[in-house]
Copies of this chain bind each other. A is one copy, B any other.
Amino acid sequence: MSDIRSPTVTPAVRRTWVAELSRSPGSIVRVSGFVETIRDQKRMQFLVLRDRTGAVQLTHEKASDGEIAERIAALTPGSAISTTGRVVDAEQVKLGGIELIIEAIEIASIADSPLPIAADSALEKQIDWRQISLRNPKEFLTFAVQTTLEHAMREFWRAERFVEIHSPKLMGTFSESGAEAFKVKYFDDRSAYLAQSPQFYKQMAMAAGFERVFEIGPAFRAEPSFTTRHGTEFTSVYMELSWIDSHDDVMQMEERWLAHSLAAVAAERGADIKRLLGVQVSIPAIPFPRVTFAEARSIVQEAGLLLPKADDLGPEGERALSAYFAAQYGHEFVFVTDYPASGRAFYHMRHDDRPDMTKGFDLLWNGLEVTTGAQREHRYDRLMQQAIERGYALESLRSYLEFFRYGCPPHGGAGIGLGRLLMIMLGRQSIREVTLVSRTPTRLHS
Contact = CB atoms under 8 A, between A and B. Distances in A.
A7 B130 contact: no
A4 interface: yes
Given A6-B287, A147-B163, A407-B34, A170 B220 contact: yes
Nearest to A165: B436
B444 A190 contact: yes
Interface string A156-186: 0010001111111111110000000011111
A3, A235, A404 — which one has the most chain B CB atoms within 10 A of its CB?
A3
Given A220-B170, A439-B170, A209 B50 contact: yes
A319 interface: no
B32 A166 contact: no
Contact of A404 (B109, B204, B406): B109
A5 B132 CA distance: 49
A210 interface: yes
Nearest to A206: B131
A96 interface: no
Interface stretch (A58-66, A84-92, A288-296, A305-313): A288-296
A73 B32 CA distance: 73
A406 B233 contact: no
A15 interface: yes
Given A131-B403, A171-B444, A406-B112, A51 B209 contact: yes
Interface in A200-220: 201, 204-205, 207-211, 216-218, 220
A164 B135 contact: no
A111 interface: yes
Contact of A131 (B35, B187, B192, B406): B406
Interface stretch (A40-48, A246-254, A273-281, A342-350): A246-254
Nearest to A224: B187
B108 A408 contact: yes
A138 interface: no
Contacts of A252: 7
A132 B205 contact: no
Interface stretch (A21-29, A74-82, A366-374, A385-393): A74-82
A146 interface: yes
Nearest to A76: B407
A11 B35 CA distance: 63
Contacts of A172: 444-445
Contact of A130 (B52, B79, B208): B208
A243 B444 contact: no
Given A52-B210, A140-B210, A169 B218 contact: yes
A199 to B, nearest CB: 13
A227 interface: no
B436 A205 contact: yes
Given A116-B406, A437-B201, A135 B52 contact: no
Given A131-B408, A218-B218, 7 more contacts: A6-B287, A33-B209, A108-B410, A134-B210, A143-B210, A184-B185, A185-B185
28 contacts: A3-B295, A10-B249, A33-B409, A78-B407, A79-B407, A108-B407, A108-B409, A108-B410, A109-B378, A109-B379, A111-B406, A112-B380, A116-B406, A134-B205, A134-B210, A143-B163, A147-B163, A154-B154, A168-B233, A170-B220, A171-B444, A173-B445, A183-B184, A201-B437, A201-B446, A218-B218, A399-B445, A403-B446
Interface of A: 3-8, 10-11, 15, 32-35, 50-52, 78-80, 82, 108-112, 115-116, 129-135, 140, 143-144, 146-147, 150-151, 154, 158, 162-173, 182-188, 190, 192, 194, 201, 204-205, 207-211, 216-218, 220, 222, 224, 232-233, 235, 242-243, 245-246, 248-249, 251-252, 287, 289-291, 295, 299, 329, 378-380, 399, 402-410, 418, 436-439, 441-442, 444-446
